[in-house]
Amino acid sequence: MMAQGKANAVRRERADESVAGQRIDNYLMRICKGVPKSHVYRILRSGEVRVNGGRVGPTYRLVEGDEIRIPPVRIAAPAAGSAAPAGKPLPVVYEDDALIVIDKPSGKAVHGGSGVSFGVIEQLRSQRPEARMLELAHRIDRETSGLLIIAKKRSALTALHDMMRDGSVEKRYLTLVPGRWANPLQHVKVPLYKYLTPEGERRVRVSDEGKPAHSIVRLVRRWQRFSLLEVELKTGRTHQIRVHLAHLGFPLCGDDKYGDFGLNKALEQEGLKRMFLHAARLSFIHPLTGESIALQSALPDELQSFIDYLDARDAQKNG
């Protein structure tokens, strides 16, 4: 529930580097938290919002130094206790004045929504109230652990989005699948179609109606019943790794959407209680400095301990 707040006075803001390049409608929705989207568009259409003294449309992109006049708006006051708790500090792998890379734990959503009141980005903003801007540069699934980039400047965010679209950010994941994967290296190019189930859950399936999707799969290790794979994403479609591998008959161990549910239940008894998918490597050219960045994240303890269990079990059988 939201309590109705009071209308603010006229605000005058100056666009700095952190918002340069952002659309005025998105900027207003971010700084006028609690104001309905319809009202934001209404004050833009009516000319009550002014940039450098003139009217602008909702698609106008801010330039550093722009003077923005925001009329009084009635902001809904959030109910007590709805703010994201700061919680424990998130593990930071890399940080400078343009971006942060964190090592996201499994089970934590990257943002609130779809029944999740808050995620990594809300928690990070709560932990760093002084930050002018913190925005996700990309997303990884809630169940997936590993490397996640957050931009601290609008210019870095825009550049990272462009780099991801053209495939110049190298993202590699580690996953465990049942069975013995044969090929040392295999390109998977199968289109993926996103849809909603009758219950409103997001799902993806292989379909010619879908968008092109390209994964490169490398065999890392094999046991009698399982294979450890490294998957490099050349495109970033929703659930891409999970659906590509399930399509080939190698569903991810512990995947509760596209996996082998009977096997998952058995694996829980053997110690694997989550989906085995970890964002292990990131390589890219820094969007502002041009520096080459290469980052790694080791398998979390709960995944490494299952690998150790497989090693011990196969050694026992071979012994």
Closest CA to 157 of 295, 28, 284, 18: 18
- For 193, counting Cβ atoms within 10 Å of its Cβ (0-12 exposed, 13-18 middle, 19+ buried), the class is middle
- For 262, counting Cβ atoms within 10 Å of its Cβ (0-12 exposed, 13-18 middle, 19+ buried), the class is exposed
| Predicted TM-score (pTM) of this structure | 0.77
Q: Which residues are catalytic?
A: 141
What string of pLDDT tens digits covers the 319 residues of the chain? 333 444 567 888 888 777 778 889 988 987 787 788 888 899 999 999 999 999 999 999 998 889 999 998 865 554 444 455 667 889 999 999 999 999 999 999 888 765 556 789 999 999 998 888 899 999 999 999 999 999 999 889 999 999 998 889 999 999 999 999 999 999 999 999 999 888 878 899 999 999 999 999 999 999 999 999 999 999 999 999 999 999 999 999 999 999 999 999 999 999 999 999 999 999 999 999 999 999 999 999 999 999 999 999 988 877 6
